[in-house]
Structure 1
Amino acid sequence: MVHCPDCETSLETADDIDFVEVDAVTGFIKASKRFYTANCAACGVTIGSGVAGAKSNGGAA
């Protein structure tokens, strides 16, 4: 079984994780790709991250 390293909640279903897009809107980075964090739905701690495909507008404002 997988658990959150911070609050020890079991991560059993997709509802146990929140995926958040992190880009220029949230002030992290301005780029043509989409960055995501995977957060524990119970406590909000970030437990992973990744990059998805390019944005349709190439990162333009």
Structure 2
Amino acid sequence: MVHCPECESDLVDESDVEFVEMDAAAGGLFAASKRFYVVACAECGAAVGGGVAGAKA
């Protein structure tokens, strides 16, 4: 079982976390081709993970 490091709530279902897309502005001539995201606890908002998703359309 996974628990939030801040509030100790159980992270069992997809509804227990929020996926927050981060701004991937690269600046310059080219737009960023990836989407960055943070996974946050739905109970307290603490970041519990993150990553990079596929190309941005």
TM interval, shorter chain, is: 0.7 to 0.9
Shift of 1:32: 2.1
Whichever residue aligns with residue 17 of structure 1, its letter is: V
Q: Which residue of 2 aligns with 1:39?
A: 40
Residues 8-23 of structure 1 correspond to what in structure 2 (within 5 A)?
A: 8-23=8-23
Gaps of 5+ in 1: 24-28, 57-61
Distance 2:55 2:13 in 1: 27
Percent identity between matched residues is: 59
Gaps of 5+ in 2: 26-31
Point out 4+ residue stretches in structure 1 off by more than 3 angstroms: none
Q: Which residue of 2 aligns with 1:55?
A: 56
Match of 1:52, SS state, is strand
Instruction: Looking at secondary structure, tell me which structure has more helix per residue.
Output: 1
TM-score when scaled to structure 2? Answer: 0.83
* Count of residue pairs the alignment pairs up: 51
Cα RMSD for the two superposed structures: 0.9
